[in-house]
């Protein structure tokens, strides 16, 4: 058995084309606008933000970049975010993480208006997700995973899932989303005992622990769906995920590559969230991923 590759590049392109088509039909004076906030000169963050801004412009969104030096104070950053919250022409706000150590990230994320929180990280939006209430925006990477499973018509309801990694950005939200789609989910972490045994029982495995090669073939149920969220750079410079891809692909039924799997889906969901926030601010109803 060789696993079918879940192509995030191709799937995200179809989603972005659909967003672009929707944007072209909007009868509005001002297009939806995404404001990105970038602090410091982290090379990876520079690349990520530039890619997001480029795709936003390509599909017909307005976008603007707000840059701050590494030395910006938390107070200054909060004040600027409040200005963006009150700017009626800005529909979505992205704060690129990580922030400098001197800045309390949770405070900054809480400052962003829940109605403009394009990453879905605000406590109010995460709280709605916990309760099964569709928030204006869903965390991008978990939502991208659900979109990818749906695109390949992979059933979720009634399946056993194992999520490895309990971050607020991926692990916890994808656990909730899979649960809302009627999967039975086990959330694992660094102190989980018998990890391989738990993963081996799963029909769907989401690896998001940040440890290269953590998930090996012997821990994968034959035919399982393996979603690799990890992005790890080896000393050789090669990018790899949390899954031992070469061995696992011979045992799994479906698998995402790194790169080219979950990453492109995350950016596509960012663009979809921008439009969702715009529509929500216009009083339009939202059709989401929690319940289908």
- State the CATH number of the domain containing residue 203: 3.40.50.720
Q: What are the E-state strand segments in 44-167?
A: 62-68, 92-95, 160-164
Q: Rounded to whole angstroms, how far apart are CA atoms 4 and 6?
A: 6
Better pLDDT: 254 or 237: 254
Check whether residue 181 and residue 239 sit in a common domain.
Answer: yes
Same domain for 241 and 152: yes
Say if residue 150 is in the same domain as residue 110. no
- State pLDDT tens for residues 202-234: 999 999 999 999 999 999 999 999 999 999 988
| Mean pLDDT to the nearest integer, 254-283 | 95
Segment 251-276 shows an average pLDDT of 97
| Strands, E assignment, the chain | 4-5, 33-39, 62-68, 92-95, 160-164, 184-188, 204-207, 225-228, 232-233, 239-240, 254-255
- pLDDT of 59: 97
List of residues 6+ apart from 256 with CB closer than 8 A? 5, 6, 8, 148, 226, 227, 228, 241, 262
Q: Is the pLDDT of residue 292 over 80?
A: no
Q: What is the pLDDT of residue 106?
A: 95
pLDDT of residue 23 exceeding 70: yes
pLDDT surpasses 70 at 290: no
> Mean pLDDT in the chain?
95
> Is 132 within the bounds of a domain?
no
> Active-site residue among 115, 116, 117, 119?
119
pLDDT band at 237 (very low <50, low <70, confident <90, very high): confident
Residue with more model confidence, 292 or 67: 67
pTM of the model: 0.95
Domain that holds residue 41: 27-114
Query: Is 54 among the residues known to form the active site?
Result: no
In this structure, the answer to whether residues 105 and 58 fall within a common structural domain is yes
In the Cβ-directed half-sphere of 145, how many Cα atoms lie within 13 Å?
A: 31
Q: Which of 96, 147, 221, 228 is catalytic?
A: 96
Q: Identify the residue with better confidence: 286 or 212.
A: 212
Same domain, 167 and 71: no
The closest of 250, 170, 155 to 207, measured between CA atoms, is 170
Asked if residue 178 and residue 107 are part of one domain, the reply reads no
Q: Which of 52, 116, 128, 172 is catalytic?
A: 52
Within a domain: residue 12? no
Same domain, 146 and 237: yes
| Domain final residue pick, 97, 114, 131 | 114
62 classed as catalytic:
no
Task: Identify whether residues 160 and 255 lie together within a single domain.
Answer: yes
Structural domain count of the chain: 2
38-47, 105-114, 153-162: lowest mean pLDDT where?
A: 38-47
Each residue's pLDDT tens digit, 81-133: 999 999 999 999 999 999 999 999 999 999 999 999 999 999 999 999 999 99
119 is catalytic: yes
Predicted pLDDT at 289: 64
pLDDT at 35 over 50: yes
Sequence-distant (≥ 6) Cβ neighbours of residue 201 within 8 angstroms? 160, 162, 221
Q: Is residue 283 predicted with pLDDT exceeding 70?
A: yes
Would you place residue 288 in the very low, low, confident or very high pLDDT band (cuts 50, 70, 90)? low
Q: Give the end of a domain, one of 53, 79, 114.
A: 114
Which CATH number do you get for residue 48? Answer: 3.40.50.10860
Shared-domain flag, residues 169 and 257: yes
- Is a pLDDT exceeding 90 seen at residue 285? no
């Amino acid at each position: 058995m060789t696993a079918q590759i879940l192509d995030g590049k191709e799937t995200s392109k179809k989603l972005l084309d659909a967003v672009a088509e929707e944007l072209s039909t909007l009868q509005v004076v001002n297009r939806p606008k995404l404001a990105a906030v970038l602090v410091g000169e982290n090379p990876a963050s520079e690349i990520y933000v530039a890619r997001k801004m480029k795709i936003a412009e390509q599909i017909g969104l307005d976008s603007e970049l707000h840059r701050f030096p590494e030395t910006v104070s938390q107070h200054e950053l909060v004040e600027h975010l409040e200005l963006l919250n009150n700017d009626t022409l800005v529909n979505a706000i992205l704060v690129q993480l990580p922030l400098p150590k001197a800045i309390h990230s949770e405070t900054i994320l809480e400052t962003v208006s829940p109605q403009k929180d394009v990453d879905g990280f605000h406590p109010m939006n995460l709280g709605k997700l916990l309760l099964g209430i569709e928030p204006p925006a869903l965390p991008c990477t978990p939502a991208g995973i659900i979109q990818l499973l749906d695109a390949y018509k992979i059933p979720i309801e009634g399946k056993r899932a194992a999520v490895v990694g309990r971050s607020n950005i991926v692990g916890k939200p994808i656990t909730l989303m899979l649960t809302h789609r009627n999967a039975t989910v086990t959330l694992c972490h660094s102190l989980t005992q018998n990890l391989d045994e738990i993963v081996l029982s799963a029909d769907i495995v989401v690896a998001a622990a940040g440890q290269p090669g953590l998930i090996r073939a012997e821990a994968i149920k034959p035919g399982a769906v393996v979603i690799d969220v990890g992005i790890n750079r080896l000393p050789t410079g090669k990018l790899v995920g949390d899954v031992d891809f070469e061995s696992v692909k011979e045992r799994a039924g479906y698998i995402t590559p790194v790169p080219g799997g979950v990453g492109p889906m995350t950016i596509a969901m960012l663009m979809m969230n921008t439009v969702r926030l715009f529509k929500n601010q216009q009083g339009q109803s939202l059709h989401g991923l929690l319940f289908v």
